[in-house]
Amino acid sequence: MTHISHPSPSGAGRPRLVVIGNGMAGIRAVEDLLDRAPGLYDITVFGAEPRVNYNRIMLSPLLSGEKSFTDIVLNDADWYTANGITLHAGDPVVSIDRLGRKVLAQSGTEVPYDRLLIATGSGPVIIPVPGHDLPGVVTFRDVDDVDKMLAAAGGGGSAVVIGGGLLGLEAAVGLQSQGMDVTVLHLADHVMERQLDASAGHLLAEELERRGVRVITGADTAEIAGDDHVRAVRLKDGTEIPASLVVMAVGIRPNTTLAAEAGIDVERGIVVDDFMTTSDPAVLAVGECVQHRGQCYGLVQPLFEMAKVVGARLAGLETDGYAGSVTSTKLKVTGVDVFSAGDFSGGPGTEDIVFRDAGRGVYKRLVLEDGRVKGAVLYGDTADGAWYFQLLKAGEDVSDRRDTLLFGQAFAAAGGAGTANPTDAVAALPDDAEICGCNGVCKGTITKAIAEHGLTTLEEVKARTKASASCGSCAGLMEGLLAHALGDGYEASEVKALCTCTDHDHDSIRRLIKAKTLKSIPAVMQALEWKTPDGCASCRPALNFYLLAAWPGEYVDHAASRFVNERLHANIQKDGTYSVVPRMWGGLTNPRELRAIADVADKYDIPTLKVTGGQRIDLLGVKKEDLPGVWAALNAAGMVSGHAYGKSLRTVKTCVGSEWCRFGTQASMSIGMSLERMTWGSWTPHKFKMAVSGCPRNCAEATIKDFGVVATDGGFDLYVGGNGGMKVRACDLLCKVTTEDEVHEYVGAFMQLYREEARYLERTAPWIERVGLDFVRSRMVDDAGNRAALHARFLDSQSHSQSDPWAERATPCGQHANDFKTLASVE
């Protein structure tokens, strides 16, 4: 249970507002109230979950691993503090005393109120089939559910998702991305039947099948089989599907028990009027728990519209009230574009306008009634979803452009004469047009923020308005608004295409490789519509790395797609000869290795031997035709490549540490050697250098490395993101640890996070400057479980990189494949 308490800044004279529910609807109402009348109320919030307010609709990317919990937090603890709000997290209210105007929480805490806001949300529907209460049967409604699903996915096995609606499909894709074999069971004839027509539903099912998610429609669950844990799901037709995890995603039910027990009018939901007032004038309700004009809503947009009315009412302002919502839906699955809005059932008096492009996987359907858009279904190309939705909500007559309506807003903005600038299209939207559905932000809010606060970048707009801060699908519209508002002064986002062969940037390529299960360079180029048949020298190495990072142990490293230095295992010099650098663990060597280097230099007439800054010996001036022989001789002496040419670990520099130095506090040489043995042969976005200093005198210059370890009397200071090149950057202090095991775990976790998140050819210094040190800390320091998982993934990938792809490329022409397998015997 978390308790964040703040004394009232203006004494006890302020009216007391108690909010039951720390979710999206209740806190959005509080935010709106604070915008309109800051300081008006003494506010107390009770939440059933032991955490701050977060974006529940982003649970899918949390499950798939695309986002961390920190990424989906809407209001952190500092927000409650700054606004003087008392938060009781993990302490649900158990009763409401309307006569005494007070609430009682599970902990025994009793708080009086002048106004009460109920925002208890909804709960998952559980099908009461035999076995529904077995261990291994979970729902998909909150972070705790995600944690259970991730724990189950960690053991592999099979998952069955009962329900092919929005949440069910997002859960299925998330579990599949975590390595489980997933089957979706859906009672209706096609998935998402409430949001999609049959054509779009079948296209979606085909895409899910292609990704490895099995979809069975018309499936009626009879029983969940198992003894002390779920074992299988049995259908009424006798089909049995093995399962170590079952996810119930068949619908939601408003949480009304608390209100009903307090004597407040309840039907399907808590009954409210247009001003969100219940049968008790002192009590308001908002969100999925309410019933308005006979309707209950389970999507975020109506919740935000209700919250705006609540905020105004609590602030004492006039409002037209809430008149109900026209809803739209987007599927939160990376690489699958699905949008629907309104009523697409058709029927008498309506007409359909349909567009199909089987080759591109695009389907569009508009349903018109009396010359107005009544419903829309888009699959594969959802760029005009916001425009169609605005036409639908406004009830605008589109008869005069019926024939070109499917060509989209840009075409319409150009007067039907061709393609307009997308900036002009978004500029044509009215101020009340919704831009960000995840956070309920309209165009007027964004343009006002740009003008009032001088915002010039997408990141600044996100921070100020929360628009595009969740799933990011509205980023294009946001860029258009910025371009329109700033004119010639606008500079587009730095996110650029990987190369001229594609319109996709690094980050989207990485996401789509995972989302679409692409496991070869040709597959990526085909699926992502590459403009050139074989790519170029810029994109092929990047794709090769991204595929290695996405599918360790499955993807076979494509040596021909590497840079020439990596293909030849040596650095080319200005005279056309090559430089060869054998590895010296932690900068240590021995007479056998030195003799081998001397013998190789004599035999092949190598003119220059140079001690490098990384404490190794560089053999300069090797002829290309001599490279196989040079490596064969060095390998015979037990020396492997130092990868001085690779986008990989280069060196681990050490001082002599406590083994020899009178100032040393830790054994830096042995730590450096063990770190190098753990990380050698790794593939990373760019070269990666480490150092271990045995005391704070820092003789190994650990604070300008990608990862630096500085020993202290009590343990080790760990530093990240340094660079000693042309642009010197001192490291940032990541954290302090006390044991060598912790050092190893942090190194492995950091390298894995770097190669999973950074762009190809991006060093750790610019990467950390781009994403922020807080991002790295949130994933590694603050989240011990995620740190351990990152480290485990690193070790798993190393077991492949050290024995398979690197071994086959140990020396030129694939000779001496045992080069990289001698690690265990090298002393």
Phi, psi of 255 (to 5 degrees): -85, 100
Q: Which residue has the tokens 């001690």?
A: 611
- Spell out the domain ranges in the chain: 2-122+254-314, 137-250, 506-562, 565-641, 649-801
Confirm or deny that 655 is annotated as ligand binding: yes
pLDDT at residue 764 greater than cutoff 60: yes
* Token code pair at residue 308: 């705006």
Q: Give the helix/strand (H/E) hosting 678.
A: helix 668-679
- Which overall architecture, per CATH, does domain 649-801 show? 2-Layer Sandwich (3.30)
Q: Is 699 labelled a binding residue? A: yes
Q: How far apart are the first and last CA of the chain?
A: 52
Is the pLDDT at 608 greater than 90, yes or no? Answer: yes
Q: Is 695 annotated as a binding residue?
A: yes
Please check if 436 is assigned to a binding site. no
Using DSSP's 3-state secondary structure scheme, residue 301 falls into helix
In this structure, the dihedral spanned by the alpha carbons of residues 734, 735, 741 and 745, taken in order and rounded to 10 degrees, is -40
What is the CATH code of the structural domain delimited by 565-641?
3.90.480.10
Which pTM was predicted?
0.67
**DSSP, res 556:** P
Each residue of 541-578: b (16+ CB within 10 Å) or e?
A: bbbbbbbbbbbbeebebbeebbeebbebbbbeeeeebb
Length of the chain: 827
The reported pLDDT for the residue numbered 2 is 58
Helix (H, G, I), strand (E, B) or coil at 194: coil
Tell how many helices (H) and how many strands (E) occur in the chain: 28, 39
User: What is the per-residue pLDDT across 684-721, written as a single tens digit (0 to 9) for each?
Assistant: 999 999 999 999 999 999 999 999 999 998 899 999 99
CATH topology identical between 2-122+254-314 and 137-250? yes
Which residue has 């307009």 as its token pair? 420
Q: Which amino acid is at 241?
A: I
Rounded mean pLDDT, 354-378: 90
pLDDT band at 803 (very low <50, low <70, confident <90, very high): very low
Q: What are phi and psi of 372, to 5 degrees?
A: -125, 150
- For 137-250, the fitting CATH number among 3.20.20.370, 3.30.70.250, 3.40.50.970, 3.50.50.60 is 3.50.50.60
CA–CA distance, 466 with 42 (Å, rounded to integer): 25
Report whether pLDDT(822) > 50. Answer: no
Judge residue 73's burial from the number of C-beta atoms within 10 Å of its C-beta, 0-12 exposed, 13-18 middle, 19 or more buried.
middle
Q: Are 79 and 171 in contact (CB under 8 A)?
A: no
Q: Compute the average pLDDT of residues 513-530.
A: 88
Residue with tokens 């089909």: 239
**DSSP, res 565:** H
CA distance 29 to 710: 49
Residue 29 is predicted with a pLDDT of 97
Task: Collapse the DSSP code of 164 into the 3-class scheme (helix H, G, I; strand E, B; otherwise coil) and give the result.
Answer: coil
The CATH number that domain 2-122+254-314 falls under is 3.50.50.60
278 and 118 in contact (C-beta within 8 Å)?
yes
Distance separating alpha carbons of residues 718 and 731, to the nearest angstrom: 9
User: Is the Cβ–Cβ distance between 494 and 464 less than 8 Å?
Assistant: no
User: Is residue 402 exposed (0-12), middle (13-18) or buried (19+ Cβ within 10 Å)?
Assistant: middle
Please give the backbone phi and psi of residue 381, each rounded to the nearest 5 degrees, phi first. Answer: -145, 100
Position 750 scores a pLDDT of 97
* Pairwise CA distance, residues 83 & 43, whole Å: 9
So what's the pLDDT on residue 561?
Answer: 84
Calculate the average pLDDT of the chain.
Answer: 88
Residue 89 has pLDDT above 80, yes or no: yes
Is the model's pLDDT at 749 over the cut of 80? yes
CB neighbour list of residue 186: distance below 8 Å, 6 or more residues apart: 163, 164, 165, 168, 215, 216, 217, 218, 219
Given pLDDT bands bounded at 50, 70 and 90, which one contains residue 380?
confident
Whole-angstrom distance, CA of residue 122 vs CA of residue 254: 4
Residue 389 and residue 376 in contact, taking contact as beta carbons nearer than 8 Å? yes
Tokens of 220: 């009626």
Percent of the chain with pLDDT over 90: 60
pLDDT exceeds cutoff 90 at 136: yes
